[in-house]
Structure 1
Amino acid sequence: MAKTSNVTKEYNYFEVNQDEKKKNEEETQPLQAPKLGVRHIQILAYFLLVLIAFGFRVSLSVAIVAMTDSNINNSTNIPIYPEWKEKNLILSAFFWGYIIPQVIAGWAAGKFGAKWLLIAPFTVQCLLAFLMPFTAARFGSMGLIVSRSLQGFCQGHIFPSLTHLLSRWVPQQERAFLGSIVFAASSLGTVLAIAITGVIAASSYGWPLVFYGNGILGFLWVVIFIFVGYDSPANHPWISEAEKQYADAPYKTPWKSIMTSLPVWALLVSQTGNNYCFWTLLTQIPTYMNYVMHFNIKSNSLLSALPYLTLWIFSFFVGYISDLIVNKRLISITTSRKIFNTIGLCVPALALVILAFISPDQKTQAVILLIFAVSFNAAVFAGWGVNHMDLAPNNAGTLMGICNGFSQITGAAAPLVVQSIVIDESDILQWRKVFLITAGFNVITSLIFDIFGSGKPQPWSGHERKEEAKA
């Protein structure tokens, strides 16, 4: 009996140890999020916001042609302002206001929450957009410049706030894919804005309908987000109390460490170079297609939109592939970010160099090169685009505010640089200088990110403290 008892004890001891071992293994496994959950509702809301916001931002690039060219629409009921000489100032004005709130918006999103920081300014922007036809008629080009600056200020809260929200809602293993979906909405918004604006501008309704439509869509998004938007999982009504307490842990902003971090500066430089190229092409493609390639406004708008459609499609593959190779540990996060960033900046640079030497009769080649220049830029969504969350998961909104605020100075500068170079909008040699300068920016800033960039959480980011709290 004693022997049997000992065997039973040994068996029970073995069984308990196995149970404890199994329990420990389960506890050390990474948390598995549901395939489809509340976070995807948030992602959809962010996607729609960026989509509509870029519709606001981009539509004027096409509408300004219809607003100032009497040959676009023959209707006598549509107001035309051929006397306006400040077209590039109007296009640039958005960024004068846009750069102002960036840093404070990122900090405020982390401090007070991002939901109402998105809703309040965006509501104002919807109203300003809806009133743009009245503003143009009543106050002229200067009124439009002021209106666009105010709209830029309102939109300046969006990307810092969204980056903060993404850092709260998106787990690292889905960061590149879901982040790409949100940020790539800018491409789809660009596609729809350029294509639809051209069609509407040439119709009997004319360019004013573009701004009425933008305002209405924006108001609809505001109403939806009031009900479905949440600052973090901690604020969601379906979350556990334990997770709520964990998510509510406060983190200070290490300003000095951020400003002296080499990877942060590499990120800022890369984002700046990318934005210069992006906004140069976005604001100038319609003008280039109209005066150099001689497309009419309908063809112009559709062909100008085509590169951004391919960019949007590419972005899904970029995010998925990036997450796949990182999660399978084929390469490190740092290597992945640098590879995709290089593709996203240097392939467009090569396309622009070739485009610079294309003649006006080579229309097909010009369109193909523009498609390459824009669509391969999608790779940066898995490069610098998500690098803010890599470097500082707990201060991602602030970091986006700093980098986006500084880099968007190029958005204001790009149309003015073009204006100083392109005196005759039909002169192909002047456009050649524009394309070569833009390509040079891309290559130089890509190299800086390749040398000094990183995909690792920085020591000052508080990431280790968060992991310890999680353990």
Structure 2
Amino acid sequence: MGSDDEAHLFFNLYSQRMYIIISLMSGMCVLAYMRGSLGMSMTCMVNSTAVALEHASSAHKHEPLQRGREILNEYTIKCNALRRGFTNKFSNSKALNDYGGDIIWSQHKQNLLLSSMSLGSIITMLPAGYLADRYSPVTLIKVATLTFSLMNLLFPTLAMYFNFWSVWAARFVSGLGEGFISPSIFSLISRWVPNHEKSQAIALFTIGSQIAGVLFPPVTALFCASVFRWAGNFYSTSILMFVWLTIFHFVGVDSPSKSKVISTSEREYLEQHIHSHNKKLHGKRPSIPFKQIFTSRAVLSALYCHFTFGLYIAMVSLFMPIFFKEVLFLNMKENGFYSSIPPFFQIFAKITWAIFIDRLKRKKILTHTRGCRISHAIGSMSCGTFFILIGYFSDCSNPMLTILFMTIMAIGTGTSSSGAITALVSLAPIYTGFLTSISTAILISGTMALPLLVSVIRVHGTVEEWRTVFYIVGALTFSSTIVFTLFGEAEIQEWAQGASPKLPSTIEQAEILPIEAKNLILNEEKGKEEEQQA
């Protein structure tokens, strides 16, 4: 590691790029709360007993409503003997661990709602990447988060006073806004952070999701038990996002060259080490090499990893609170508290690993590719292994074993941000927005696929049904280890290197190019002067 690198470490008090990433991390924290609050809130929004009875009565239209008692099975009776439940008004048995919600949405409607935002995101994802590479990613982030916040603010009113489809539409529009956020953020990161620091930057940025996972499940549970009920979650997240937007309006800057507070030395250092996103002098950016991108093994392997990561995200953020309720029979406060334990430990694992792996890369002990392969392998094997173990061992008699498995899995997957995610944004910096839009669309397709899978398998919420879900998700996640180890790369690809702009003819025109480009032109001009003097 050179003295120049030592003088401009990513983590230091004078690093303006670190503060940019911290601002994005705080926004991601609130965004993750807004996105994931529905999964936790659903447990106290929906009246589980009423939904189960409605399902039972529709299945037995010509029989008395008391038929709903047949939803009880041996597992439920066993858990009622071990865990506190709620009394079924149609019998003296405790039918379900119901949190006392007042909305009656069928399992099918719940799954539709959980996937509605993902559907909206996919629609705007590709144009978002195109726009983020060509225009201001900061502006796109602000407009997108404002849209998301407004729809989130309307959600409780629509749910309580209007029909289901108005709620679905609000989440869908939220997704349209969210589709712009990830491509814009990664485009911004590529303008501020050199390749050899991207593991640290992405780890710091994505920690926002883990902080949300630590803080907000207990907060969600407290709101559910308070006078504000579940609606308090939506109001509080919207207010937090409005506050963040106000702050980001003043601190968000598209590039080092536009920053008024960055030091001259840091600006020059970044100009030396960042390949792309300097404005092209002759107007047009190079066209996107679609064929090379979609036939690249490095790109395709990273995209497959993003799909399996989408399954993991949906499983943890949307369905684990429901699993804790239906299978582990945890009460509301236990659900919130135990949901926050795994991401707490993941925060430390993620940052520690990112600093460690980037240090090995700076010292040339590991190449970018090998560092990303090792990082992804640890994360995906941990995820796949422990999902399968949770499916095999978990039931209401040993909830702490499930929490232990979830915590170890979270620590292991803390390395994932330094794996395929870092690799993809390193392959072609000039096309970061486009590649990120594709990868995020693939990731979101994973988050959409899981609710569809769960809706087919989970009918009554039994442990056997959930076991099948865990086995499938675990196997798919584990398979990404093999794919990325064989085909994953993290070096700038040949088809991306060819996109560099032609050198201008004068130093004045080179004002916005990196330092080495300016020096090259100066040397050429100096050589011409010497020839003329000779």
TM-score range for the pair, normalised by the shorter chain length:
0.7 to 0.9
The C-alpha deviation readout for 1:158-199, integer Å capped at 9, x for no partner, is: 111111111111123321112110012112123323221111
1:82 to 2:104 alignment: yes
**In 2, are the aligned partners of 1:63 and 1:207 still within 8 Å (CA)?**
yes
* Residue in structure 2 matching 1:275, options 303, 310, 323: 310
**In 2, are the aligned partners of 1:184 and 1:378 still within 8 Å (CA)?**
no
1:403 to 2:439 alignment: yes
2:23 is paired with a residue of what secondary structure? Answer: helix
TM-score (norm 1): 0.87
Structure 1 runs of 4+ off > 6 angstroms? 28-31, 70-73, 239-242
| Alpha-carbon distance in structure 1 between the residues aligned to 2:17 and 2:278 | 15
Structure 2: unaligned runs, 5 residues or longer: 50-84, 87-99, 502-513, 521-534
| Alpha-carbon distance in structure 2 between the residues aligned to 1:285 and 1:233 | 41
1:366 to 2:389 alignment: no
Give the match for residue 391 of structure 1: 427
**Does the C-alpha gap of structure 1 residues 93 and 45 become closer, same or farther in structure 2, counting only changes over 3 Å?**
same
Structure 1: unaligned runs, 5 residues or longer: 1-25
* Residue in structure 1 matching 2:28, options 46, 50, 56: 50
Give the match for residue 71 of structure 2: none
- Count of paired positions: 440
Opposite residue 35 of structure 2, the aligned amino acid is: R
**Does the C-alpha gap of structure 1 residues 140 and 310 become closer, same or farther in structure 2, counting only changes over 3 Å?**
farther
**Does the C-alpha gap of structure 1 residues 430 and 112 become closer, same or farther in structure 2, counting only changes over 3 Å?**
same
TM-score (norm 2): 0.78
Query: 1:312 Cα deviation (Å)?
Result: 2.1
Opposite residue 276 of structure 1, the aligned amino acid is: L
1:425-440 aligned within 5 A: 425=461, 427-440=462-475
Give the match for residue 132 of structure 1: 155
| Alpha-carbon distance in structure 1 between the residues aligned to 2:15 and 2:306 | 31
**Does the C-alpha gap of structure 1 residues 464 and 154 become closer, same or farther in structure 2, counting only changes over 3 Å?**
closer
| Alpha-carbon distance in structure 2 between the residues aligned to 1:268 and 1:55 | 25
| Alpha-carbon distance in structure 2 between the residues aligned to 1:366 and 1:268 | 30
Give the match for residue 160 of structure 1: 183
**In 2, are the aligned partners of 1:233 and 1:247 still within 8 Å (CA)?**
no
**Does the C-alpha gap of structure 1 residues 301 and 258 become closer, same or farther in structure 2, counting only changes over 3 Å?**
same
**In 2, are the aligned partners of 1:394 and 1:463 still within 8 Å (CA)?**
no
Opposite residue 162 of structure 1, the aligned amino acid is: I
**In 2, are the aligned partners of 1:308 and 1:371 still within 8 Å (CA)?**
yes
Give the match for residue 40 of structure 1: 18
* Residue in structure 1 matching 2:491, options 448, 456, 459: 456
How well do the aligned residues superpose, as a CA RMSD in angstroms? 2.5
1:57-72 aligned within 5 A: 57-69=35-47
1:246-395 aligned within 5 A: 247-249=278-280, 251-252=285-286, 253-358=288-393, 359-395=395-431
| Alpha-carbon distance in structure 1 between the residues aligned to 2:47 and 2:347 | 30
Query: 1:256 Cα deviation (Å)?
Result: 2.7
**In 1, are the aligned partners of 2:186 and 2:433 still within 8 Å (CA)?**
yes
Query: 1:116 Cα deviation (Å)?
Result: 0.8
| Alpha-carbon distance in structure 2 between the residues aligned to 1:282 and 1:391 | 29
Query: 1:70 Cα deviation (Å)?
Result: 7.5
1:444 to 2:479 alignment: yes
The C-alpha deviation readout for 1:1-21, integer Å capped at 9, x for no partner, is: xxxxxxxxxxxxxxxxxxxxx
Query: 1:126 Cα deviation (Å)?
Result: 0.9
| Alpha-carbon distance in structure 2 between the residues aligned to 1:83 and 1:273 | 28
**In 1, are the aligned partners of 2:306 and 2:442 still within 8 Å (CA)?**
no
Of 306-315 and 428-437, more deviation after overlay is shown by: 306-315
Opposite residue 80 of structure 1, the aligned amino acid is: D
